[in-house]
């Protein structure tokens, strides 16, 4: 990479916090044509940081030579794939056994601080083992084989979710060569603890089993983040873990049309109700104080909540690849495609890109999910902020699965379903469009929102095949 090359700026809380602490934007930021959008500046205000965050959502770039100034050490990522198994079986086995024990105990008793400390020790060991591997960035994480012999699907999902969350957090940071090892350890283990315990509320809920769930039952299931928090409100542990558990299915900004749940207003009113109920009970003053702290944390809106995005996506992937009493598991490759196809109303563009580029292939036995000839639908967000959809065929794609070069074939209109959740279920008005080529590594206005194949949308797939002709 040359020093003059433009690199897309991926906003992280740590980098933005560095700007705030130094009150400085340390380098120019550009659009994809090399025109300066935001100038280097000292003594910046919070308003100027908010302006930077707004530009970040549209896609901004920095010069490779400015990476150090921005707190991002430039690094070339190896192109090859490795079959290194980066997790020791004994560590995963110990984590599984301890998780089984806790889930069994929760049926009859409460979570304790001792449980939390024990699991923190296990997670610290798992994280340190992962970080010591020379191939940790590109090595294989075979989560399908980690839980052999574990009968409880709840435990399988919890441990898989924890491993996937660890990989997504550390690989995303390593891809930007994040340099503060202690901070990386801290924020990663907070996320891993959140991933392990975010579904414990199900242990106390009467969850319907099967695929034919009514809308009323679906709303009840969506209350589980609050139930999981209530089961650990009394426990002395990092408040960030509890906040992550409350927000685990709220990856999008408040006010954005999407699948965030439960509603923030409902969540805060429920917690306020518990505070009022417990305020006169001296034995529960620690719980009241914890709930008040959580209300304060919920009131702080993050423009991009990385942990909530990771938890939601890791939960979906772990659930899809795990057999449960009412359905079989699906393959990791098919799970990745389903996540892409569910992403438009569920996840931020950034987390889908990072998942595809740094983790997905390792979760799929080092096999590419997207290949040349595949059909994609892209959401196009031009400067007028309207959203358009284009069907394209992949010309070339490497291990960076979110960055293929594509050829436009047609304009399409998505068919939106609203129940049980917002989603794209197919496409209509498929009209042949003027041929155009795009390189998604350099085009920040387009992102992948759907993989069209014979399983996901056979009607659209047949129409696109007829328009595009045979693949060479």
pLDDT digits (tens, 9 = 90+) for 358-368: 889 888 877 89
**Tokens (6 digits) for 142:** 């075979």
User: Are 164 and 314 a contacting pair, CB within 8 Å?
Assistant: yes
Is the model's pLDDT at 79 over the cut of 60? no
Backbone φ/ψ region at 426: left (φ over 0), alpha (ψ -120 to 50), beta: left
Q: How confident is the model at residue 181 (pLDDT cuts 50, 70, 90)?
A: confident
Nearest to 146 by CA among 327, 356, 314, 321: 321
pLDDT at 378: 98
Report d(CA 335, CA 345) in Å as an integer.
17
SS3 of 391-438: the string is EEEEEECCCCCCCCEEEEEEEEEEEEECCCCCEEEEEEEEEECCCCEE
What value does the mean pLDDT take over residues 230-237? 92
| pTM given for the model | 0.80
**Tokens (6 digits) for 226:** 């609050």
Beta strand pairing call for 24-25 and 405-417: unpaired
To which residue do tokens 């399988």 refer?
156
Return the percentage of the chain with pLDDT > 70, whole number: 85
User: Are 424 and 416 a contacting pair, CB within 8 Å?
Assistant: yes
Report d(CA 454, CA 444) in Å as an integer.
28
Q: Which residues pair with 398 in a beta bridge?
A: none
Report d(CA 300, CA 254) in Å as an integer.
11
pLDDT at 218: 76
Q: Which of 36-50, 300-314, 406-420 has the highest mean pLDDT?
A: 406-420
Map residue 205 onto helix, strand or coil: coil
pLDDT at 132: 66
What value does the mean pLDDT take over residues 285-303? 91
Q: How confident is the model at residue 304 (pLDDT cuts 50, 70, 90)?
A: confident
pLDDT at 219: 79
Residue 109 vs residue 201, higher pLDDT: 201
Map residue 62 onto helix, strand or coil: strand
Report d(CA 450, CA 342) in Å as an integer.
8
**Tokens (6 digits) for 328:** 């079989």
Residue 71 vs residue 393, higher pLDDT: 393
pLDDT tens column, 121-158: 888 887 777 766 655 544 445 555 666 666 678 888 99
Distance (Å) of CA 110 to CA 102, 104, 114, 200, 259 = 9, 11, 11, 11, 31
What is the sign, positive or negative, of the torsion defined by CA atoms of 239, 240, 241, 247? positive
Indicate the helix (H) or strand (E) that contains 195: helix 181-197
Map residue 358 onto helix, strand or coil: helix
Q: Which of 57-61, 101-105, 367-371, 407-411 has the lowest mean pLDDT?
A: 57-61
């Amino acid at each position: 990479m040359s020093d003059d090359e433009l690199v897309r700026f991926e906003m992280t809380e740590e980098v933005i916090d560095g700007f705030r602490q130094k009150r400085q934007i340390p380098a120019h930021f550009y659009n994809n044509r090399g025109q300066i959008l935001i100038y280097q500046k000292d003594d910046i205000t919070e308003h100027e940081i908010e302006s930077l965050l707004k530009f970040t959502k549209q896609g901004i770039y920095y010069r490779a030579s400015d990476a150090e100034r921005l707190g991002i050490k430039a690094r070339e990522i190896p192109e090859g794939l490795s079959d290194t198994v980066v997790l020791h079986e004994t560590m995963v086995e110990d984590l599984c056994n301890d998780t089984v024990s806790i889930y069994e105990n929760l049926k009859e008793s409460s979570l304790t601080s001792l449980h939390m400390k024990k699991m923190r020790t296990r997670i610290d060991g798992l994280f340190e083992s992962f970080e010591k591997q020379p191939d940790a960035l590109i090595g294989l994480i075979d989560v399908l084989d980690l839980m052999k012999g574990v009968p409880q699907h709840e435990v399988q999902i919890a441990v898989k979710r924890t491993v996937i969350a660890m990989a997504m957090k550390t690989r995303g940071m390593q891809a930007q060569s994040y340099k503060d090892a202690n901070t990386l350890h801290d924020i990663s283990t907070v996320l891993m603890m959140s991933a392990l315990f975010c579904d414990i509320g199900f242990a106390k809920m009467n969850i319907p089993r099967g695929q034919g769930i009514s809308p009323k039952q679906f709303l009840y299931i969506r209350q589980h983040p609050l139930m999981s928090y209530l089961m650990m409100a009394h426990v002395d542990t990092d408040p960030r873990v509890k906040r992550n558990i409350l927000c685990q299915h709220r990856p999008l900004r408040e006010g954005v049309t999407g699948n965030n749940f439960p509603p923030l207003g409902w969540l805060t009113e429920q917690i306020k109700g518990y505070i009022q109920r417990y305020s006169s009970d001296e034995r529960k003053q620690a719980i009241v104080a914890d709930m008040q702290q959580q209300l304060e944390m919920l009131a702080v809106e993050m423009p991009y909540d990385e942990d909530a995005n990771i938890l939601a996506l890791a939960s979906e992937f772990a659930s899809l690849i795990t057999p449960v009493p009412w359905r079989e598991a699906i393959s990791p490759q098919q799970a990745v495609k389903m996540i892409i196809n569910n992403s438009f109303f569920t996840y931020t563009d950034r987390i889908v890109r990072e998942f595809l580029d740094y983790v997905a292939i390792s979760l799929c036995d080092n096999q590419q999910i997207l290949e040349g000839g595949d059909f994609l639908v892209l959401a196009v967000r031009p400067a007028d902020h309207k959203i358009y959809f284009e069907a394209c065929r992949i010309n070339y794609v490497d291990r960076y699965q979110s960055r293929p070069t594509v050829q436009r074939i047609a304009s399409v209109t998505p068919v939106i379903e609203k129940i049980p959740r917002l989603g794209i279920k197919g496409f209509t008005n498929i009209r042949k469009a003027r041929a155009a080529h795009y390189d998604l590594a350099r085009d920040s206005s387009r992102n992948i929102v759907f993989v069209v194949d014979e399983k996901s949308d056979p009607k659209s797939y047949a129409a696109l095949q007829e328009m595009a002709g045979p693949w060479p």
